[in-house]
Amino acid sequence: MEQLQQFLPIILMFAVVYFLMIRPQQKKMKLEKQFESELKVGDKIITKSGIHGKIAEITEGNATVVIETMAGKLKMERSAISPELSQKLNAPKEEKK
Tens-digit pLDDT profile for residues 11-47: 999 999 999 999 999 999 999 989 988 888 999 999 9
User: Residue 95 — very low, low, confident or very high, per pLDDT cuts 50/70/90?
Assistant: low
Q: Where are the beta strands (DSSP E) in the chain?
A: 44-46, 52-59, 64-69, 72-77
77: pLDDT strictly greater than 80 = yes
> In the predicted model, what is the mean pLDDT of residues 75-94?
85
User: Residue 97 — very low, low, confident or very high, per pLDDT cuts 50/70/90?
Assistant: low
- Residue of 75, 36, 82 lying closest to 56 (CA atoms): 75
- Pairing assessment for the beta strands 72-77 and 64-69 based on DSSP bridges: antiparallel
